[in-house]
Structure 1
């Protein structure tokens, strides 16, 4: 646990969150500033700063994170119409909390990901 990490503090129960899914190794909770009707963050309980660090240090944890994201998408009713699974990695990508997290977004048409250059 990183005591300065917001998501580690959520895992520890120090900060409340609306939890929608939990496994031994993952936690999923609603984003406090949703960008879609469904916006859930899925995190590993162990601290890793980004998805690259997680993949390198714990490949099985990466699989657990993806399986949890799939379970959330199914539970939220997103499998039929589709959903976006997004990892922001680093400041240029918009990562704000440096504890790896997947955004499960859906419930509406999300449009194109990036505008053409």
Structure 2
């Protein structure tokens, strides 16, 4: 536990939250500043900075919790779909405790998650594919 981390304090019961789900490895709670109704944060109970590359069991469990909570949110809110996103490293923002945003989506919401895009370069893609496959 990191005593200065608000998510660690939440896990320890030292901060209040609207907890939708928790188990021995994860916790899911409503975002205090939601983009839409049902905007949920899913985090490992253990303080980690990264869920995608960390080997702690809580990292993998986060994705099962996302499925569990999404099914419940779908039944309650009947959204048109979901957006799920995570950032890490210096892009995390103000909380360095790993977490994933689960955002119910509605046709009339104002949520924007835009990415600037370019056409995939075939040679670069082939080189990257070879490098990654060699490691896997």
Superposition TM-score tier, normalisation by shorter sequence: 0.7 to 0.9
Which has the higher Rg, Structure 1 or Structure 2? 2
Deviation at 1:115, TM superposition (A): 4.8
What is the Cα-based RMSD across aligned positions, in Å?
2.2
State the match for 1:101 in structure 2: 99
Deviations 1:70-89 (A, max 9, x none): 11111101787320111121
TM-score, with length taken from structure 2: 0.73
State the match for 1:20 in structure 2: 20
1:73–1:79 CA contact under 8 A, matched in 2: no
Higher RCO (Cα < 8 Å, 6 or more apart): 1
Structure 1 unmatched runs, 5+: none
TM-score, with length taken from structure 1: 0.83
Rounded to whole Å, the distance in 2 between the matches of 1:15 and 1:62 is: 22
Structure 2 unmatched runs, 5+: 118-136
The yes-or-no answer on 1:36 pairing with 2:36 is yes
2:19–2:28 CA contact under 8 A, matched in 1: yes
The structure that is helix-richer by fraction is: 2
1:20–1:30 CA contact under 8 A, matched in 2: yes
**Correspondences of 1:1-117 after superposition (within 5 Å):** 1-52=1-52, 55-58=53-56, 60-77=57-74, 81-91=80-90, 93-109=91-107, 113-116=113-116
Aligned length: 113
Rounded to whole Å, the distance in 2 between the matches of 1:40 and 1:10 is: 14
